[in-house]
A and B are shown apart, each in its own frame.
Chain A
Amino acid sequence: MSKFILKYGRDDRVKFISHLDFVRCFHRAVRRSKLRFEFSQGFNPHPVMTIAQPLPVAVTSEGDYMKVGLITGLSDEQVVDELNRAMPPGFTFYKARRLAAKEIDLTKINMAEYVAEIECTQRCDIDELMRNKELIVPKKTKSGVKDSDILPHIYEIEDLGYTDGIQTVRMVLSCGSGYNLRPETVVAAMERYCGGFKAEFTAVCRKRMLIDNNEIM
């Protein structure tokens, strides 16, 4: 048995699956494949599996990670093939790597890159937005909705263009258990600080997850 790190993503077809449903879906996929889970010891054994950061409903992804204990003699490439064969269409596994003990700590993930497509009334001037000294928006926390300055948590933000009423914005934001900033919250700041800008709908894709600006694998 060994620990694997897996990099995977999902497209529009399966983006409405909740985190828990995804976990169950993955369990079943492993049961359908040639792979076998490593089960936890104890009274109620369950597969050993850690997902870096739950993907919110309606968000697609090109770079999510999980660590999972699998019993298999297959090569890294074959593990990828097995999972792609066993998962429903819409999920893609990009990479797998057998890990040495304690290698890569997914809880250290602190940044993520997103591309948001925003259906809006007019283009938001991102440069002007970023010239503000602070960006205070109501943000959901465990103890309720509180005002929070999100500016220090926007590491990069870039306007990728505006066509047919849709503005596309790339952003690198705080992510993980420390401070998690969602692209929708940035859009809320755009609405608050850019006069006349009103977002009707935002579609988000998570592109990458990073530890201190470094690729995970």
Chain B
Amino acid sequence: MITLKDKILSRVMKPTRYTGGEMNAVTKDPSSVDIRFGFCFPDVYEVAMSHLGLKIIYHTLNTREDTYCERVFAPWEDMEQEMRNHGMRLFALESGDEVTRFDILGFTLQYELSYSNIVNMLDLAEIPVLAAERGEEYPIIYGGGPCAYNAEPIADIFDFFMLGEGEEQVHETMEILKAWKKDGKKSKKELLERLAENVEGIYVPSFYDVDYNEDGTVKSITRNNPHTPEKIRKRIMRDFDSTPAPDTIIVPFGEVIHDRVMLEVMRGCLRGCRFCQAGYIYRPLRERKPETLLGLADSLLSCSGYDEISLSSLSTSDFSGLPKLTEGLLKITEEKKIGLSLPSLRIDNFSLELMERVQKVRKTGITFACEAGTQRLRDVINKNVTEDDVLASTNLLFRGGWTNVKLYFMIGLPTETDEDLLGIPEIGKKILDVYFAIPKEERAKQINITMSASSFVPKPFTAFQWFGMNSREELRRKQRFIKENIPSKRLRFTYHDDSTSYLEGVFSRGDRRLCKAIITAVKRGCKFDAWGEFFDFDKWMGAIYDCGLDPDFYAARERSYDEILPWDHIDVGVTKKFLIAENERAKRGETTPNCRLKCSGCGAACFNAGVCVEKRDKEGAVE
């Protein structure tokens, strides 16, 4: 039988983006469940399927007999056109059913530049975009993930947000949703009240009124419903080792970006880099035991048939169980001819030896995140990497046969001067010197040193949340300035497009008034903004100005400490007081030690978990 979908899929690129049916995808009889759930990732299949959070929530929800969780992704432009031409609505991959009448759709908010795709996906599903315009006949729409901590620019679209880690929240939410459905879905407001009251970490934006001052800053954020807390505290899994991790993983047919088993060894980070949102919002650092991880590795590898496994964390070197874990993993990988990749690792003798032993490592591509060109500026941002570290590491690498070194920098950091910028080519030059100082027969023949600079975007819940982002002109001047000062043709310098960073800067600290601009931009054709071939900066600026808003107000304006920030009613554990202290220390160029060296009293200890309470034996290993 020839179906419409067959015909359409024969015409589009990469049709397996839309077919489902992969190994370990879950199928259920929709009539046998109480809740139909759509896990929505507002980007294309290959990006969505690389996301660890999807795997966690998908398998967590599907362990419930009463819930059928399916995947819903943004169709690529060719598919979207076909769908619109044929009146095909947004569908879920597992059943192929339209999501328009699902019970609940959960969007993961990974980056600001995916906001337009959310609006576009709802439009493709023929679901009203604004929460206030959706009745009980439509799915409940919620969001989670890092951008949920300041989701004000898309607050009017969502019924609620889940703040923090979802493993328990989703279960509690499903129970309440199921009961509400059984009671006859009386009113959406009543459901949201039950959720806000009973599930810690649920933020219902419509239960808070935001008023503005004449100058456009926030005057007040007022709770308008007694069922919701004054401040919403994020949720964490206190005991990470016993937090259920999926022991099965969907294996895509086509290649995706992270096409391998990912082992989440820990959550949170103890480094405290002052620009890094992840470093603050995922506090405190919590680890899994090596034994737990080895068990997971074994079941994930044997159920998937993957020949590569990677460790996932913000800073793998800080994992206290690393020697034990890698010892165990190497046994598995050597026996089964499996590649092991170790991102976020500090380069020292231990890790180099480790990399030598790992199968299938091509001796290319080692990346250093220096972030800034001078020690002064690295102290400002509390990036605990010294030039000596980098030079000693590259010396080891070149002697060990590695040829490609990448160095990551940010430009537009607070207190940055041209001298700091000159430090970027300077480091490159010193690395070259290191290379040439090694006798010819002991070093790799050809080397590539790439230095890349991205533009710093200040994020909420960081020490730099008050900082006015550099203008695009200033960022471009800095890019040129560095380029002109690159001393050798052997050093390659690249930089990221400043216009996408600027838009990210508008949204990351935006408020509710931006929602109109997002909807307008989508109406004018904006989508897939993270993709260079789609991003249309002028269209975005037009939409923002036409809604009576000034993008510089959000991106470039320096805030004062007493200004009410649009996310002040959200509590991530780390206190505003601590962030102010960190910002002041940054201005003085003072560093803050990591959590294991000394507690700096950030506030995350309120969760009573992980590094805040860990006990260590005499050698310093976590018990």
Contacts and interface: CB of A to CB of B under 8 A. Distances in A.
Interface of A: 12-14, 16-18, 21, 24-25, 27-32, 39, 45, 57-58, 86-90, 117, 119, 166, 201, 203
B254 A21 contact: yes
Nearest to A22: B253
Nearest to B338: A31
Contacts of B16: 16-18, 21
B22 interface: yes
B218 to A, nearest CB: 50
Interface of B: 2, 6-7, 9-10, 15-16, 19, 21-23, 251, 253-255, 301-307, 336-337
B9 A58 contact: yes
Nearest to A37: B337
Interface centre among B9, B15, B305 (most CB of A within 10 A): B305
Contacts of B337: 39, 45
Given A58-B9, A201-B7, A31 B305 contact: yes
A16 B6 CA distance: 9
Given A17-B16, A31-B305, A31-B307, 11 more contacts: A25-B23, A25-B253, A28-B305, A31-B301, A31-B336, A32-B302, A45-B337, A58-B6, A201-B2, A201-B10, A203-B2
Given A28-B251, A58-B9, A201-B2, A13 B305 contact: no
Contact of B2 (A17, A18, A90, A117): A117
Determine the main DSSP class of A at the interface with B. Answer: mixed
Contacts of A31: 301, 305-307, 336
The 3 closest A-B pairs by CB, nearest first: A28-B305, A31-B305, A16-B15
Contacts of B306: 28, 31
Contacts of A27: 305, 307
A32 B6 contact: no
A172 B19 CA distance: 30
B2 A166 contact: yes
B22 A88 contact: yes
25 contacts: A12-B6, A13-B21, A14-B19, A16-B9, A17-B253, A18-B254, A21-B254, A21-B255, A25-B23, A27-B305, A27-B307, A28-B305, A28-B306, A31-B301, A32-B23, A32-B302, A32-B305, A58-B6, A58-B10, A88-B21, A88-B23, A88-B253, A166-B2, A201-B6, A203-B2
A58 B13 CA distance: 12
Contacts of B304: 28, 32
Contacts of B19: 13-14, 16
Contacts of B9: 16, 58
Contacts of B251: 25, 28, 88
A32 B23 CA distance: 11
A13 B547 CA distance: 46
B362 to A, nearest CB: 11
Contacts of A30: 305
Nearest to A89: B21
Nearest to B306: A28
B316 to A, nearest CB: 25
A16 B5 CA distance: 11
A32 B303 contact: yes
B483 to A, nearest CB: 38
Contacts of B307: 27-28, 31
Contacts of A86: 305
A46 to B, nearest CB: 10
